[in-house]
Amino acid sequence: MARIQDVLKADEPSIVYQPIYSLDPRRVVGLECLSRFSVTPTRAPSQWFADAVKVGMTVPLELKAIRKALAGLAAVPDFYLAVNASPGTILSGELEDVFADMETNRIVLEITEHACVPDYNKLIRVLEPLRRRSVRIAVDDVGAGFANMRHVINLHPELIKLDSSLIRSIDVHSNRRALVSAMVSFANETGSTIVAEGVETADELNALKALGVTTAQGYFLARPMRLAIAARLL
């Protein structure tokens, strides 16, 4: 707990922004906000958030990361910003205050976490006032676990983000292409947009475009960057 408290007291986490591209024509439409930690011990961001879960401090850590990320909203007026939140943070009800006085039509709320949600009706009720303010909902890491598919079925997200495990070498894996093709059909039927995560090669990108995927992000397209650099993107 002490380590998470130290992070909350410090100027942590820092935020980097990874471009999200519309593919035809290729142009940046959004930026995913990603946390980075410079405090010791050195560990991946996922480990810091996992530690916060263990000590019951997920909500304050996620809210701090979201506030820091959205501080950059004015610097990138042409793009939406996607911020990550677990169901627990959403259910805390504090996001309405965090989003106050912001251009909420440029905010995408990515729902993370692989655990099951015990009460989807409650989660849907808490999301309603955010959606009325034009906040869009994305389900993150779809394909990485059963819980994420339950999120998709129950929450009717505007964006469905396919996990990088589905995208890796999709150009040579027919089963992955079949699954992504099915997800594209599902999205078309439900009015959602597919976002492919973790695109690392031109062959992967071409395979995704052939399957009808229209939006993607990954190191092949652009790596996470500081706000000052993201603000210069067109």
What is the reported pLDDT for 58?
93
Q: Tens digits of per-residue pLDDT, 22-35?
A: 999 999 999 999 99
User: 190 pLDDT exceeds 90?
Assistant: yes
CATH code: domain 2-230 is 3.20.20.450
Q: Tens digits of per-residue pLDDT, 97-154?
A: 999 999 999 999 999 876 678 899 999 999 999 999 999 999 999 988 777 888 999 9
d(Cα 124, Cα 204) in Å, to the nearest integer?
Answer: 34
Handedness of CA 115, 110, 119, 164 (dihedral sign): negative
What is the reported pLDDT for 114?
62
Structure-block tokens of residue 87: 């169901």
- Mean of the pLDDT values across residues 197-221? 98
